[in-house]
Structure 1
């Protein structure tokens, strides 16, 4: 019996770990498609002449290369060239790593400013209409002084672009902010960092926010969605409501065996069994930026309670460094967070599509009021001659009711 526990059980456990690692390695950086979407390449798009509007949704672009070699900015430039009119680029937060835009003299200031200038110069060159949201890194990784970091970035961007509506919601308020992009297409921006932020966060007239109680936000959001049931609604935020990745509680076998790699990728110190404590904590209790954390969980529950009343919503977020698509109760939930970093995403589950690769999602709106999703990815290696790839395309079905009230 003692031999059984000392040899056979550890051997079986090791075989299980090796098999699981092989499965993860086999599918990493390969697109996963739900069975019904495997034949997506055979779908027929509406004619280009009927395209009314295009949105590029770029998340977590804060580690962009500033020497002209950035792969995501290259495919973003091709999108800009192909959509010179009637287009908007939405930056879904974490615009600057690691801590947003620090004050002058800070050791990260020059790097952050160079990265921001690289993005802004490309926007100004093509006259693309930009909208920047803030993420946890833009709020100094959620630290108590993060509000000042966010205000500093807002001031820098709006001054450079000479337009206060390029950073939304303004002043770090929760939102919602509605923008009519085209006939039948409405963009709604919300600041999900507000719910999980530690320390100072704005609310009320002293901060130029429209209300002093967060319950009024939920009422305003529901009223906005109800008034616009006749439109296709795209909700842009930083934090996803569904995810098969780290912030959704999904971890690799490597992260269980080498948990110290969460602090630095070179800390390859094996801690089997004991190392699983960290992933289990993140999965069931969560850091402040995880779905399992009580603040995030409360926000997610309230937002889904509202969204589930409607079936014309496409919710797009970043935060997790990959590309994902979910269909839930008639609505669509997207993760587009691989603008400058990539990380593991689990295939299957409730997802219809997942991929760990640099890129972003594009939403194209047509005259017949259809919205089509395209996932654009960059070449995997510098020697790969493949240009911008579309690795997934899908018509996002929704139920739009006849107009009853004006916007």
Structure 2
């Protein structure tokens, strides 16, 4: 029996070594699915005038606070060029590691500094700023997380009064924000579904999925972006994808330098997270429930764009006629698996930008620090003329900001 166990360990180790060698060849490289591989030639810049831009950036909670931050600098350059006809959506996990702790907590000065660094970078921005909350903002989902996110909301309003913190007061949403004529942002607090302990009651938050369905039905004449912290498709760790190193050294998922080799036993953690899941993983029952119910609504409406953070990389999926983005590389990067259902993935800091044109085209662009000016990492036409909604008519049901009834 001992020989069999030794043989299994040996075979697994060889397999992990081969896989690790393969991963090193393509990790941190841009990957584009074969169907999209011709994008530079197939997607020339649009001829129509651009009317609005939207930056989608998540997981900015570890930005540099003692010197220039490459992502914030790039975002500021984009904001200056975009001007008033634009908005920036921060997709949650705005403060690592646990949001804004009490005033007396040892980690409060560092946490506040991380948030204020971001808020100060937006002070001269002419466009709109919208903050969402993520699991780290809720004290990593612990029972007292609501207190943490309310403190963050208060600081945002104190230091950047024009910014939106949505949904407010920890409610699940959905809430809407009319960005421009014919462009509607719908925001969900996806952490509400997976949060432990105290949270606003479902009665106080209305009927989230029914409300979302009503909002989408009432606004089919508009181009709609739905934003939440948690992705609905992902080729990264929260979607159950792990590196060979994480199988061999499973403690590195907790600390990058924890190189304690645990072959075979070490695979139990990735397998567990893939099949059962921690609270922040797609496999977890609460997250699975959220994802199933949300996709059931979204799949009824083609040409939607759903944007999330959570996984620390850049991913784009086209599913059921709509578009799903993972833009969680605002301050950290982590492994993302090539292939699968993805159209584009890259393990690199950066963010996505949506560009809306007068002829109803909507384009996706990837912006990353270190890219030569005028060079796109990836771009794709998400919505073509004739398939998108027209600008909202006067008297539309989409108010400036409201919760579905």
TM value normalised by structure 1: 0.91
Give the deviation of 1:386 after TM superposition: 4.5
Partner of 1:406: 396
Provide the rounded CA distance (Å) in 2 between the counterparts of 1:27 and 1:75. Answer: 25
2:187 pairs with 1:189: yes
User: Does structure 2 retain, via aligned residues, the 8 Å contact 1:344–1:356?
Assistant: yes
Question: For each residue in 1:192-245, what CA deviation from the matched residue of structure 2 results, as whole angstroms up to 9, or x when unmatched?
Answer: 00000000011267xxx452xxxx211110010011112111011100000000
Aligned to 1:240: 231
Give the drift of 1:6.
Answer: 8.1
2:45 matched residue in structure 1: 45
Kept in 2: contact 1:40–1:393 (CA 8 A):
yes
Q: Are residue 394 (structure 1) and residue 380 (structure 2) matched?
A: yes
Partner of 2:198: 200
Separation in 2 of the partners of 1:28 and 1:242?
20
**SS of 1:390 mapped into structure 2:** coil
- Whether contact under 8 Å (2:231, 2:308) holds in the other structure is yes
Question: Which residue of the partner structure matches residue 171 of structure 1?
Answer: 169
Q: Structure 2 vs 1, CA of residues 387 and 257 (structure 1 numbering), >3 Å: closer, same or farther? A: farther
**Cα distance in 2, alignment partners of residues 401 and 297 from structure 1:** 31
Q: Residue 13 of structure 2 contacts residue 263 of structure 2 at CA under 8 Å; is this kept in 1?
A: no
Q: Deviations over 1:93-129 (max 9, x none)?
A: 0000001011112111111111111111110123331
Is residue 128 from structure 1 mapped to residue 119 from structure 2 by the alignment? Answer: no
The answer for the alignment partner of 1:353 in structure 2 is: 344
Whether the 8 Å contact between 2:84 and 2:126 is mirrored in structure 1 is: no
Offset, 1:77: 1.4
Query: Counterparts of 1:1-400 in structure 2 under 5 Å?
Result: 12-42=11-41, 43-47=43-47, 50-163=49-162, 166-203=164-201, 209-211=204-206, 216-379=207-370, 386=372, 390-397=376-383, 399-400=387-388
User: CA shift at 1:343, angstroms?
Assistant: 0.3
CA RMSD in angstroms, aligned pairs only: 2.1
Contact 1:375 1:393 in 2 (8 A): yes
Q: Structure 1: state its 5+ residue gaps.
A: 380-384
Instruction: Specify whether residues 157 and 124 from structure 1 end up closer, same or farther in structure 2 by C-alpha distance, changes over 3 A only.
Output: same
Deviation at 1:255, TM superposition (A): 0.3
Alpha-carbon contact 1:378-1:387 (below 8 Å) kept: no
For residues 68-107 of structure 1, give each alpha carbon's deviation from its aligned partner in whole angstroms, at most 9, with x where no partner exists: 3211011111101210121101000000000101111211
Matched residues in 2 for 1:371 and 1:154: separation?
31
Taking a change above 3 Å as real, the CA distance of residues 9 and 302 of structure 1, as seen in their structure-2 partners, is closer
Q: Distance between the aligned counterparts of 1:95 and 1:2, measured in 2?
A: 50
Q: Is the contact made by 2:9 and 2:263 (CA closer than 8 Å) also made in structure 1? A: no
Q: Secondary structure in 2 aligned to 1:100? A: coil
CA separation of 1:199 and 1:12: change in aligned 2, threshold 3 A: closer
Report the structure, 1 or 2, having the larger helix content: 1
CA 1:286 to 1:114, structure 2 compared with 1: closer, same or farther past 3 Å? same
Give the 3 Å change call, closer, same or farther, for CA 9–159 of structure 1 in structure 2. Answer: closer
How far apart are the structure 2 equivalents of 1:388 and 1:60?
26
TM (norm. structure 2) is: 0.92
Following superposition, the deviation at residue 400 of structure 1 comes to 3.6
Change (3 A) 1:389 1:281: farther
SS of equivalent to 1:149: helix
**Contact preservation (8 Å) 1:323, 1:336:** yes
Moved more, 390-399 or 59-68: 390-399
| Aligned residue pairs, count | 392
Between the aligned partners of 2:245 and 2:263, the Cα distance in structure 1 is 10
Superimposed CA distance per residue, residues 262-297 of structure 1 (whole angstroms, 9 cap, x where no aligned partner): 221221011000100000100000000100000000
Q: Distance in 2 between matches of 1:227 and 1:314?
A: 16
